[in-house]
Each structure stands twice: as structure tokens, then as C-alpha cells.
Amino acid sequence: MSTETKLDTLKLCLLSDWKVERGSIRVNLRGQKRQALFTRLALNEGRPIHRNDLAEWFWPSVEPNKARASLRQALTDLRAVIGAHCIVSDGLSISISSTLVDCDVVELALQLRTALSGSQAQTAELRGVKELLRDFYGIGEALDDWLTETRVRLQDMIFDAAGKRLQDPATPSEHRLSLARVVCELDALNEFAIRAQMKALADLNDNAAALRVYHAFYEHIEEELAVEPSIKTQELAVEIKMQSPPEQLALVSASPAEGSARPLTLVAVMPFERLGCFQIPDHTILGMLDQITCKMAGFRSPAVISSNSTRQFLGQTISPVEIAQKLDVRYVLVGSITGGDAEPVLSVQLCDGVNGRVHWAKTLKLNLPGALNQSLSLAEDIARAVEPSLNLAELDRARIISPEALEPHHLVLQAKELMFQLSPAEFAEARNLIDQALSMGASFAPAFALSAEWYAINLWQGWSQRSHVESTTLAEHARRAMQYSPGDGRTMAQWGHYKISLERDFGSALALLEEAQRLAPSDSETLIWTVPTLAHSGQAGRAVKNGTEAQRLSPFDPFQFRNEHFLSLAHYANHDHEKAAKLGLACFSKAPRYGSNLRVTIAALNAGGRFREAVELAEHHARAEPQYSLINVRNKMGFRDRQTQDIYVKRLLAAGIAA
């Protein structure tokens, strides 16, 4: 191949966000059908496709002459973007030379055959195999059939290359283990990858973990297919078992299998100790235990173990570390009731089960005669206060534990932290973590909820290159979050917010908000998600009330800047421009790249007569979001009332926001 040809070669990327690159420059090819058409031609290995077939596949419901006209226009657009010489036509058929287009899936397969880096980037690419070509389904039935066939072919290419790499004894055991685990994430029934995990773990002198992988796989296929592992896999398990000392065999059932189902982070709620001179009956203490446990069971994660397992400790004095060891949990919620008869006090602590560190503590006054009745509201207060502390503790722990031990919950926490830095690089890394969480937990509602939020931010920050596709995915993931967590007020309030952003469906959005608040009336996260929807719907007073209450309920929220922005929007809609500007500037100091907040703050400053500050902030906005254009988004912007919307846009234009 000549130097000129090499420089002109295009690269089709399918393993992360769909894109085409020439060298290091992204080709600006827009539109789902144009992208799908290029993909269809590029993956046909240079073979021509008849024009009529392409027209029928891509415009199946259009009259044939119009479909062919649409195809001609799409091909003209392709030639203009990728180069006329790239597309070959003899009048009847179309092709793209296979020498002009490389594909990252083929490159990854070649990498796996020749070397395994074990890098996070390579692992992320491997995980992308699961979602190949998903953006193009729904254009037409014939194209869907081709997409499915091609996905299987490309995935088989990767699995075949991975299999050869796993067989190579020169591949380091750590790399073989990492690769085998990713393959099992993509295909839980891949028995070759199961054996590769077992062999790698045995080579690393962890026979107990190898046998746990085997037992977990045995249970999985017995439940799914009602069969046993192959003789080859069973023989490997026997071989490893024969080589294992008794102390390692004792560990096989002691902890969950590595590489299959990951161990859940667990919390244990203990019966409260009675240290005062007053008498509290056992049934009151156990009733409080049950109610707090039930409230904490509503957490998305970590999981709380049943109160049936902790009531055995009633009346005992035992340290949190000992409890954690006995119950195999990570966190322990302990408490004691002290003081005189007149005003007893409940002291509660959330402790780390490994080192005894206190992550959160609080004292609450207790009404002794009605303690059991009061315990329901106490349980809500405790559960609401404990959750953010648990999340912060888990986020800290996720930074030091190995990637293989991360649970979907950890990945979601890490992704959320990266997302709200609002930096394109960190935002892209958050996408990888979310996709990893989705692949590990097929019905893990928080991962789908955060995925929807990721797409929403990507759209409204103006970063999306595929707004139509991402809008569809946002809606799909929001619905799945609700499907997997049907009684969760947070996901319901989020979906209400997206209903306005995506569909301008204010009626459905407000109905969702009503139900969300009924389900979770005192949850700060639910309340804060109602605020922008109410503000945009003409219920600014209620938006201010909910936003203020959300701040009161979560004064140390790690994403306080988002809450400040939402409340700023509520005050702007309520014509309190001074408060709106104050909150917006507070948010700006924490998140200077938060485009939505910048725009509301600019409008509030302008409305409040602080025009110079509005202009300065608009100049910052231009640097933070150079591609932003009001023309592209004004019809999708939030306010239901057209006059309010027009005034908002005029204030932004006057300050210098790009038209």
C-alpha cells in the first residue's frame, strides 16, 4: 500500500461510541441512516451491493422511486464527507474498497492473537463487543437481520482470538485471568473461558478461588440449562482439587466465586443496647430493629441482611469488627439507648466492619412510652442519613480494592463522581464504567438510572455527536431503571424530568412527579429531581419548596452543586433573580463547566440588572461550550410557557450566548 493510500485510510470504530476517523481526526458523518449505510458498505469486505437492495433496506416503508432518491442523496453526502474516491459505483451497485477502511474490531482480534496488554483500554474495548452495532437497529427488518448476523460474526472473531490467547502458555497468568473474566461477562456459558479462569487461578496458587469459579458455573448451568459442566471441565476441577492442601479446600465455600457472581457489600443492623436505668421490653427493641432494617432494605445498594440474622445479638455487648466477622458483612449499624427516664437518648453509629472506623454518627431524643411507634420515623431519619455516608465510604474503598473485586454499585459510584467533573475526558471514562456495571448487573436499576442521566447530560451539554440515537437510548435506560425498581421514587422523578426534555410531555411528567413524591416524600434525591420539572411546568413556588427541602434533608450532599443549580432554576422561574444568581454562582464555583447552570445564571444576572457579570459569564460559557448554539436547542428547552421561554432566550442572546 502506498504512503498516500495509508494516509487516506479510514478507521471504523464500533467498540465504543460509533465513529469514523481519518488519522487522528474524526470524520463528521452525521445521521443514523448515513452512519449505518457507511457501516453496511464498509463491513461488506469490498463486495458490491445492489442499489435496490440498499434502498429497500434503509427506506423500507417508502415508495421505491423515493427510496432510491433518498439513497442517492445519502451517497452524495457520504462522498462529500469521506471522499468521492472511497465509494465505487457501476450504476447498479455500490461498494467501498476493503483496503480503504480498517475496523477496530478486526484490529482488536489481531491484537489478541499477537499480544495481550492487559490494559484498561483493551479491557474496555473487549467489553464493547457486547454492544456492537446496537445503534442501528430499527431502521428496517432486513437491515436488522444483517446487523444480527454481523454482530455474531464479529463477536465470534473476538472470541476465537481470545481463545487462542488464553491457550498460549506465554501469556502471563494475570492477563489470562483478566481476559477470561471479561469473556465470561460477555458470555456466561463460555466453558472454555471458565476453564481458563480456573487454570490461571491455579497457576497463581489460589486453588480455592479456582474451585469457587467451578462451583458457581456448575450451579449456573444446572439452573439455566439443567446440565452439568463438560467432562473436560469436571476433570480440571478434580485435578485442581487433588493438588489443593486441606486449608485451601476449607476456603472453597467460605466466600463467593471470583469471576462469577461478585460478593455483595452487606450492612448489618444490630439491636440497640439498653444502658439506662429504665426498662425497655425486648419486643420494642426488636420492633425498632425490624423497622430500621426494612427502611435500609430500600437502598439501591449496599444490601442489608435480614433482621432475623441479627436479633440473636439482643442483650449482647460485642464490637462491630467481631459482628462483621461473624456475619460476613462490611458495615455495622450499632446504637445504644442511654439517659434518665425523663429524656432518654438514642446514639447511633455506622461502623466499618474491618477497622471499626465510624463513618457516621447521630444522637436522637427518644420518646420512651411511644418508642415503638416513634421508631418508624426514626428508621426513616436513620436510613436517610446513613445512605450518603455508606456511598462515600464505598467510593473511598473502591479506589483501593482491585478492579476484579468491584461490584456494579462501586462502578456506579465512581462513574457518578467522574460524570459530575463535567470534563469530556472524565465523562467518557464514566461511560466505560457505566457500561461495565451494566454488563455485570443485567437488572441493576441504579446503573440504568445513571446511564440515562449520563446521556441526558451529554445531550444538554452539547457534546453528543448522535443526539437522535442517544435520546432513544436515554429513554430506554430510564424505562429499564423504572422496570427494575418499580417502586423507586427517584427513578420515577428522573423519568418525569426526561419526559419534558425528550418529549415535551408535561402532563405525563407531572403525573410521574406526583407518584414519585407519594412513594418517597422525604427522600432528598427524589425531591431534587422534581424541581426542574416543576419549574419548567409553571409551578415555580412548589419547585422552590421542594428544592429547599431537599437541601435541608441532604446538607452535605456530594453533588450539592447540582442541587444548587436546580434550586437556582426554581428561583429564576419564580422571578427571584437575586436568589437565582446567588445559587447559580455558588454552583459555578464548584462546577465551572456545568453548561445548564451557566445559562440559567446568565439569564438571572441579566434579569437582575447585573449585565456586566452576565456578559463575563457568557464569555466563559463560550470557552466551556464552543459548539453550543441556541438555535439548535431552543425548541427543546424547558419552559412550558412560550413567553417565559422567549424572554429566557432573549436574555441569553443579549449577554452574548451564541445564536
Residue-wise pLDDT tens digits, 552-604: 777 666 678 889 999 999 999 999 999 999 999 999 998 888 888 999 999 99
pLDDT > 70 fraction of the chain, expressed in percent and rounded:
81
pLDDT of residue 255: 40
Domain-located, residue 647: yes
- With cell 504512503, the residue in question is 3
- H-helix or E-strand spanning residue 96: strand 93-96
For residues 143 and 189, membership in a common domain is answered with no
Instruction: Specify the DSSP element, H or E, that contains 65.
Output: helix 64-82
235 and 321 part of one domain: no
- Average pLDDT score over residue span 164-192: 81
Residue 458 neighbours by CB distance under 10 Å = 23
DSSP 8-class letter at 244: S
- Choice among 81-90, 261-270, 559-568, 592-601 with the minimum mean pLDDT: 261-270
Which neighbouring-strand residues pair with 364? 346
Cα atoms found within 13 Å of the Cα of residue 461, Cβ hemisphere only: 23
The last residue of one of the domains, among 161, 188, 212, is 161
Strands 19-22 and 25-26: antiparallel
* Distance in angstroms (rounded) separating the CA atoms of residues 496 and 515: 10
Per DSSP, the three-state class of 646 is: helix
Residues 149 and 5 both lie in one domain: yes
pLDDT of 527 strictly over 80: yes
For residues 154 and 274, membership in a common domain is answered with no
pLDDT given at position 321: 85
Q: Please identify which residue in the block is written with the cell numbers 424530568.
A: 497
Query: What's the confidence (pLDDT) of residue 237?
Result: 85
Coil, strand or helix at 5: helix
Give residue for cell 445503534.
135
Q: CB-side exposure of 68: number of CA atoms within 13 Å?
A: 10
Q: How many CB atoms lie within 10 A of CB 268?
A: 26
The partner residues of 349 in beta bridges, in order of sequence, read 334, 361
Instruction: Give me the DSSP letters along 134-202.
Output: GGGTTS-HHHHHHHHHHHHHHHHHHHHHHHHHHH-TTS-HHHHHHHHHHHHHH-TT-HHHHHHHHHHHH
Residue 469 grid coordinates: 440515537
591 and 656 fall within a common domain: yes
Q: How many CB atoms lie within 10 A of CB 318?
A: 13
First vs last C-alpha separation in the chain: 46
Q: How is residue 618 written as a grid cell?
A: 457568557
Say if 487 falls within a structural domain.
Answer: no
Domain membership of residue 38 (yes or no) is yes
**What's the CA gap between 387 and 400, in Å, rounded?**
21
Q: Assess contact for 384 and 403: CB atoms under 8 A.
A: no
How confident is the prediction for the chain on average, in pLDDT?
80
Decide if 177 is inside a domain.
yes
Other beta carbons less than 10 A from residue 438's beta carbon? 23
Residues ≥6 apart with Cβ < 8 Å to 507: none
Q: Which of 52, 53, 10 is nearest to 35 (CA)?
A: 10
Coil/strand/helix, residue 270: coil
CA 205 – CA 34 distance, rounded (Å): 52
Q: Where are the beta strands (DSSP E) in 229-367?
A: 266-269, 273-274, 303-304, 331-338, 345-352, 358-365
| Set of cell numbers at residue 159 | 472470541
**More confident site: 256 or 171:** 171
Whether 1 maps to a domain, the answer reads yes
Which cell numbers hold the place of 403? 478492579
Q: Which residue has the cell 463513618?
A: 359
Band of residue 326 on the pLDDT scale cut at 50, 70, 90: confident
Q: Rounded to whole angstroms, what are the CA distances from 168 to 119, 181, 200, 255, 313? A: 18, 16, 12, 30, 53
- Examine residue 388 and say whether the peptide bond preceding it is cis (omega within 30 degrees of 0): no
Domain with 311 in it: what CATH number?
Answer: 3.40.50.10070
Secondary structure class of 609 (helix, strand, coil): coil
Mean pLDDT of the 155-180 span: 82
What's the pLDDT at 633? 59
Alpha-carbon 233 to chain mean position: 35
Mean of the pLDDT values across residues 290-319? 72
Under the banding of pLDDT at 50, 70 and 90, the label for residue 387 is low
SS3 per residue for 396-464: HHHCCCCHHHCCHHHHHHHHHHHHCCCCHHHHHHHHHHHHHHHHHCCCCHHHHHHHHHHHHHHHHCCCC
Task: Check residue 6 and give its pLDDT.
Answer: 44
- Whether residue 53 is found in the same domain as residue 2: yes
Nearest residue to 571 via CA among 560, 557, 558, 585? 585
Give 256's pLDDT tier (boundaries 50, 70, 90).
Answer: very low
The phi and psi torsions of 303 (rounded to 5 degrees) equal -85, 150
- Establish if 96 belongs to a structural domain: yes
pLDDT at 381 over 80: no
- pLDDT at site 625: 80
- Residues in CB range of 494: below 8 A, 6 or more apart: 449, 452, 453, 478, 481, 529
Q: Specify the CATH number for the domain of residue 547.
A: 1.25.40.10
Q: Are 377 and 271 in a shared domain?
A: yes
Which residues have C-beta within 8 Å of that of residue 63, sequence separation ≥ 6?
none
Q: pTM of the prediction?
A: 0.50
Span 94-119, pLDDT tens digits? 998 878 888 888 888 888 877 655 55
Question: Which residue from 182, 200, 196 is spatially nearest to 123, judged by alpha carbons?
Answer: 182
For residues 265 and 260, what is the distance between their CA atoms, to the nearest angstrom? 15
Higher pLDDT: 226 or 58? It is 58
Q: Are residues 157 and 300 in the same domain?
A: no
Using CB atoms within 10 Å of the CB of residue 383, give its burial: 0 to 12 exposed, 13 to 18 middle, 19+ buried.
Answer: buried
179 and 55 inside one domain: no
**Residue that is last in its domain, among 240, 261, 282:** 261
Gap between the Cα atoms of 579 and 569, Å rounded: 10
CB atoms under 10 Å from CB of 382, counted, come to 25
Q: Are 130 and 208 part of one and the same domain?
A: no
Answer whether residue 5 shows pLDDT above 60. no
Are 13 and 142 found together in one domain?
A: yes
Asked whether residue 36 falls in the same domain as residue 143, the answer is yes
Domain that holds residue 361: 266-398
**106 lies in some domain:** yes
How many domains does one find in the chain?
4
pLDDT winner (highest mean) among 52-61, 332-341, 364-373, 513-522: 52-61
Does residue 446 fall inside a structural domain? no
Distance between CA 523 and CA 387 in Å, rounded? 11
Cα torsion 39, 40, 45, 49: sign? negative
Calculate mean pLDDT across residues 430-441: 83
Give the model's confidence band at 606: pLDDT under 50 very low, under 70 low, under 90 confident, else very high.
very high
Q: CA 178: distance to chain centroid?
A: 22
Residue 278: band (very low, low, confident or very high) from pLDDT cuts 50, 70, 90: low
C-alpha closest to that of 447 among 439, 456, 458, 438:
438
- Using alpha carbons, list the distances in angstroms from residue 218 to 170, 184, 233, 238, 367: 29, 14, 10, 13, 53
- Listed residues 161, 192, 217: the one ending a domain: 161
The listed range with the strongest mean pLDDT (197-201, 203-207, 325-329) is 197-201
Q: What is the pLDDT of residue 297?
A: 63
